[in-house]
Structure 1
C-alpha cells in the first residue's frame, strides 16, 4: 500500500477543518455533530477520526487557526516592520477584522470560541495564552511608541496595549452583529476619543 504524502495529509486535515468551520458557522458548536462534519467533508468516518478523535479536538484546532490568524498579523508586523506607529498597527488589525467578519469569516467562529472557552477549561487556557501573546505584540509597539515620542514618556505600555487590544473584539462584534460601523467611522471615533493621529 503506497504511503500517504505529507502534503496529502495536510490537505485532508484542511478539508476537515474547512468543513467544521462551515458547520459551526452555520449551526453553532453545540448543534453540530461529528456526523454533520463528516457529511460536510464528504469523507468516511474513519478518515475524519484519523485526524480528529473528537468534536472537542476539532473545535480546538479551528480555534487555533482562527485566533492564530489574528496573532500572526501582528507578529508579522512586529517582525517585518518593528517601527510601525500605533495608528498603523491598529489599522492593520482592523483590516484583518474586516476581512474575517463577513458571512464566511473566521471571526464568526471566534465568537463561538469565546463562549465555549467559558465552559471548557482547556480551551479557556488556550485562548488566554494566545490572547496574552496577542496583547504582548501591542505592548511591544506601545514601548516603541514611548521611545520614539509618539506617546508621552510617562505612558504605561501595558495600559495602552490593553486598550488597543480591547478595541478589536468590540469592533469585530459590532461588524458581525450589526454590520457596522465601517473602519473609517470607527477610526474617526478612536481619533476623537484618544487622539491618535489616524489616517
Structure 2
C-alpha cells in the first residue's frame, strides 16, 4: 500500500472538519451525531476515526478552525502600518463580523462554541487561549489611537482594547440573533462615547 503524503492527510482532515462544520451549522453540536459527520464527509467510519478519536475532538478542531479565521482577520487590522483611525478600524472589524454573521459564517458557529465552552472544559480552555490574541489586536488599536491623540494621553489601552474587543462579538451575537442594530448605529454610538 502506498504511503499517504502529508498533503493527502491534511486534505482528509480538512474534508472531515468541513463536513462537521456543515453538520454543526445545520443542527448544532449536541444534535449532530458522528454518523451524520461521517456521511457528510463521504468517508468510511474507519477513515474518520483515523483522524479523530470522536466527536469531542472534532468539535475542538472545528472551533479551532473557526477562531483561526477570526484571529487572522483581527491581526490584519492591527498589523496594518497605515492603520485607520480608531473608529474606522472598529467599523472594519464590525464589517468583517457582519460578513461572518451570515449562513456559513464564523459567528453562527461561534454561538455553538460559546454555549459548548460553558459546559466543556476542553472547549473552554481552547476559547480562553484563543481570546487572548484577539483581544491583543484591539489593545494594539487602542495604543495607536492613544499615540495619535484619538484617546486621552493617560488612557489605559488594555482596558480600552478589552472594551472594544467585547463590543465586536457582543454586536455579532445581537446581529446574528436579531438582525439589528446595524453596524453604522454601533459606530455612531461609539463615536458619541469617545468624543
**TM-score between the two structures when normalised by the length of structure 1:** 0.91
Q: Is the 8 A contact 1:117 1:124 kept in 2?
A: yes
Q: Secondary structure at the match of 1:154?
A: coil
Query: What are the equivalent positions in structure 2 for 1:1-199 lying under 5 Å apart?
Result: 1-81=1-81, 83-195=83-195
Give the paired residue count.
195
- What are the superposed Cα offsets for residues 59-114 of structure 1, whole Å, 9 maximum, x if unpaired? 11111111121111121232343644322321221122112111221211111111
Q: CA RMSD in A?
A: 1.6
Q: Secondary structure at the match of 1:103?
A: coil
Ranges of 4+ aligned residues in structure 1 off by more than 3 Å: none
Inter-partner Cα distance in structure 1 for 2:174 and 2:54: 32
Q: Secondary structure at the match of 2:53?
A: coil
Q: How far apart are 1:28 and its partner, in Å?
A: 0.9
Inter-partner Cα distance in structure 2 for 1:123 and 1:100: 21
**Which ranges of structure 1 fall in alignment gaps of 5 or more residues?**
none
Q: Is the 8 A contact 1:82 1:141 kept in 2?
A: no
Inter-partner Cα distance in structure 2 for 1:73 and 1:81: 15
Q: Secondary structure at the match of 1:108?
A: helix
> Cα 1:82–1:129, aligned 2, differ >3 Å: closer, same or farther?
farther
Q: Which moved more, 1:78-87 or 1:38-47?
A: 78-87
- What are the superposed Cα offsets for residues 104-139 of structure 1, whole Å, 9 maximum, x if unpaired? 212111111111111111211111111122111111
Q: How far apart are 1:185 and its partner, in Å?
A: 2.7
Q: How far apart are 1:144 and its partner, in Å?
A: 1.9
Q: Secondary structure at the match of 2:3?
A: coil
Inter-partner Cα distance in structure 2 for 1:13 and 1:130: 21
